Structure 1
Amino acid sequence: MSSPGTRMRPAHAFMQHLRGYKPRPIGGQKHTCSRDDKASTVPSPPPPTLPQSPQNPANDNDQPELQGDQFEDLLDPIQLFVDIADLETPSDPLIWSNDVALIDNHAEDIVEHQLNSVPESFSEDHSERLGGSLGLHHILGPSLDLLGIPDELKFIMQYHICEVVPKLCVDNLSPQNPYRDYILPLANEVPSLLYASAALAACHFNVRLSTNQFEREFFRFKGKAMKRLQEDLYSQTRAKHPGTLATILMLCLCDLCHGGNSDFQSHFQGAKRLIELRQERTISCFVEQYLAWLDVMAAASHSRPTVFSSEEINTILGESQDRWGFDTIPCPSDQFQIICEIVTLYKSQLDPDNPSIQTLNQVQDIKQRLLRRPTHCDKGPNWLHMTEAYRFAIILYLLRLFSRDIDEFELYWLVSSVLYHARATPPASGWSDQLLWPLFHAGLELKDARRQEWVRERARCMQSSGRFGNVQSALVYLRVLGRDSDQ
């Protein structure tokens, strides 16, 4: 990992540092509660009669592009993914293993269709059915080239636009959505991004309906995205394309949606190397911001340090002007900076269980700064309650990290404040769906069964509404913790 301020390495060194980047699909159970999806502004595709994709679709056109002499100074990108998982869907997805060989002779079954694929696709009937009721051109809109989409992707990308894209913004009805206005146009130019978006949609569909109907498509589309990402890394020009960095973001969201364990660190390390290579930002640093947000929040729950340094995160925040996360990140930038400060402080301790007096003074200073921060009420009451829930949850997180003895009355006040603001957000809404992190940390301190059950029920509603499988992991942990506290 290069330190901030170091001179950028040449291309071959950049490729060597990307050697460990190996996004891997993770299998796991998913549990959702049924819910009436009346909140959606666009009718959902009819799920009951979904046919399965062909087992052995034929296509002879999906061959890697021949690389010319202009790439002779770069490593073979296959070496960048030497430990990549075999992407064939297992017969039982619940025992999916990541420790299998590199894509081998079976890969032809996984990466069969190129952008000019033959129209032998499971999605053709669904494209016609959904397009007939809503207008296919209206659904896809000007941001996605209809003629450039393979037939196998037409249905799933319609679903991506109608159902997934709104859920990626805090306000599901926001007229400004960077995934629709920025990411999808890039997918016209970068096939790896198109297939990563399709993989996210397939996984989202499964979580939403608690089904495995699109499980095979999820792994197949994700495999195609990673294969094309490898090809993009042959060329510095293609590696510098913003769509290549956006592909890594979409792969992170795929793992987040799929739930279970995932090696996000490899994603973040690969993204950091690409950012260093590009030396320019995506629009208002949107992609860089979201990757940094995911990196810090993942490190906050694990022993590993952040991949992005504090200096790099501050630079990203400073270059984003007034568009922090395009309203896709629920935590305001001032609160996010404090989370970064807390994580950095904790991981710099030689003995975290016995913090020094100086460290405890810093903790009190951070706590007071959080309490003194002005409220974020400029976007309406829902944003206010969501950001206030984060404020009190951050204090809970801070005190749990550094204080062995927490005042009982203060603890009760902090937990009650998180629950109050969470209850004030409408359930099955974008604001409520973004409160998993605050509710998780409040739930760790709950003792009475009634409030524990409310947190679990709200989490189940989040999974049904937001359709991201990571909620299930939090539910399992809280359920086990609740049983332990009862004993």
Structure 2
Amino acid sequence: MLERTELLLAHYDREICPHQIALPTDDADNPYRLYILPLAYEQVGLLYAVLGLTACHIGIKKDDAYLRDTLAVEYQARAIRCLGETLQNGISGELGENERDGIFATIQILLLQDIFETGISTHGIHITGALSICNQLRLSDILTEDHERTIFFLGNLAWLDIIRSLADPQKLCFSPALRETIANLSDLKFEQVNGCPRELFLIIGTVLEHAKAHETGYIDTPQYERLLNAARYDLQTWRLSPGVYPNDHSRWPAIAEAFRHACILHTSRLLDVYQPAEATMIQTSVTAILDAIAEIPPDCHLIELLVMPLFMAGTDALSSYARHYVLLRLEHIKVRAGFGHPTPISLLQSVWDARGKQAKDDNRNVPWMSFTRTGTERQHDYLII
């Protein structure tokens, strides 16, 4: 078992870490190497999570059913059990910094395994568990620049929280204060891992906060529409500031533009979910996203950051060539990353098929979110990244 563990950890180090952050080379300063691996030797739950993720990754690449369906699931179950015990200890007592960061890292790795497998998370509830720790420790009050590792893990979880809330705003967990703290204290690794500039991350977080409040009845419709229109104006007038991305390479602004219009598009859809996709406002953002992504060649490491904007553009893509282009770029990401999950394509195909079945005089939008729920039941978290 020790030999197998070492082989799996070596694979995580060599094959997975480089794809978890957009670095131009296989950089020794990769935070997943610097933070995850040392913690995994100390926190057994994180070790199991890393081993499960790696076994799943190898199993998918080599089509090895034992690694993918047996060993990976076994390690995952052990990680979840350890995580539950650690969370319980955190609720009933105090946690050291390594234990706390081990929790955040374990949750991220478990969610990444879900992304590797299907893109649909059955473990999203653990974000709520992590937030209970955050609330107990009042992290937004005590975090400083000295907590670089904690901020790194929390930043990635906060972005995953945004992503899963696109399908259902009521799932949003991170508080506005904690998102603000994370954005202020994070460094450029946030953009290198998630792609989205922190300023846009805060705006779309506010949008989803308003959507959650509206769905739960805390704000009425007129106030909700005023707030979302104000946020959309902020998105429309936002421009990339110097120093937001790691360097001045011309491809970084293209990534920012893709995320900006993805956020505009989703905000427009929250305002009017049934607005025809043919509307000028909708198609302007679709075209802007696809034009921006066209600036990123298939062999560029930055392409791996763009699944979310591609998906958002695809949901309102009308022409055959635009839809084909979305699928082509998703395939480029799959080839570059070495794996791809079917959820974004499956959701897009469901939307496109439903639009194709509409009557000729019916041009109402078909919301992609409707395919993530069954009736009034909310399904698992959709991690379209």
State the alpha-carbon separation in 1 of the partners of residues 298 and 326 from structure 2: 12
Is residue 200 of structure 1 aligned with residue 53 of structure 2? Answer: yes
Partner of 1:80: none
Q: Does 1:178 align with 2:31?
A: yes
| CA 1:355–1:420: 2 relative to 1, 3 Å | farther
Which residue in 1 is equivalent to 2:351? 481
Alignment partner, residue 307 of structure 2: 436
Letter in 2 for 1:283: E
Equivalent pair of 1:258/1:468 in contact (CA under 8 Å):
no
Counterpart for residue 300 of structure 1:
166
Structure-1 separation of matches of 2:228 and 2:85: 47
Which residue of the partner structure matches residue 218 of structure 1? 72
Which position in structure 2 is the counterpart of 1:333? Answer: 198
Counterpart residue type for residue 329 of structure 1: N
The residue identity in structure 2 corresponding to 1:336 is F
Q: Which residue of 1 aligns with 2:376?
A: none
Following superposition, the deviation at residue 442 of structure 1 comes to 0.8
Name the counterpart of 1:286: 152
Q: In the TM superposition, what is the alpha-carbon distance from 1:359 to its structure 2 partner?
A: 3.2
Q: Which moved more, 1:380-389 or 1:422-431?
A: 422-431
Instruction: Check conservation: 2:258, 2:309, Cα contact below 8 A.
Output: yes
The whole-number CA distance in structure 1 between the counterparts of 2:318 and 2:220 is 27
Q: Identify the residue that residue 369 of structure 2 maps to in structure 1.
A: none
**Structure 2: distance between partners of 1:270 and 1:172:** 35
Render the CA deviation track for 1:420-478: whole Å, top value 9, x for unaligned.
Answer: 11121122543212211111111111111122112112213323332455x41110111
Q: Is the 8 A contact 1:256 1:468 kept in 2?
A: no
Query: Which SS does the other structure have where 1:424 is aligned?
Result: coil
Q: Indicate how the Cα distance of structure 1 residues 484 and 334 shifts in structure 2: closer, same or farther if over 3 A, else same.
A: same
| Shift in alpha-carbon separation, 1:303–1:391, aligned structure 2, 3 A | closer
Residue 11 of structure 2: aligned partner: 159
The count of residues paired between Structure 1 and Structure 2 equals 336
C-alpha distance in 2 between matches for 1:229 and 1:299: 23
Contact 2:311 2:344 in 1 (8 A): yes
**Aligned partner (choices 190, 193, 196) of residue 43 of structure 2:** 190
Write 1 or 2 for the structure with the bigger share of helix: 2
Q: Which residue of 1 aligns with 2:122?
A: 263
Secondary structure in 2 aligned to 1:342? helix
**Which 10-residue stretch deviates more, 418-427 or 475-484?**
475-484
1:249 is aligned to 108
Kindly state the Cα deviation for residue 397 of structure 1 after the two structures are TM-superposed.
0.8
Counterparts in 2 of 1:326 and 1:475: CA distance versus 1, 3 Å: closer
What is aligned with 1:415? 286
Give the letter for the 1:228 counterpart. C
Quickly say closer, same or farther: Cα 1:338–1:174, change in 2 above 3 A: farther
- Say whether residues 1:363 and 2:217 are aligned partners: no
Q: Output one character per residue of 1:49-89: Cα deviation in whole Å (capped at 9) or x when no partner.
A: xxxxxxxxxxxxxxxxxxxxxxxxxxxxxxxxxxxxxxxxx
Q: Which residue of 1 aligns with 2:267?
A: 398
Q: Residue 382 of structure 1 is aligned with which of 251, 256, 274? A: 251
Change (3 A) 1:398 1:174: farther
Structure-1 residue corresponding to 2:364: none
Unmatched runs of 5 consecutive residues or more in structure 2:
358-385
CA gap 1:364/1:222 in 2 versus in 1, 3 angstroms: same
Q: Which protein shows a greater Rg?
A: 1
Kindly state the Cα deviation for residue 351 of structure 1 after the two structures are TM-superposed.
9.0
What is aligned with 1:464?
Answer: 335
Residue of structure 2 in register with 1:349 after alignment: 214
TM-score by length of 2: 0.78
Distance 1:402 1:482, change over 3 A: same
Change (3 A) 1:225 1:312: same
- Name the counterpart of 2:238: 373
The residue that corresponds to 1:51 in the other structure is none
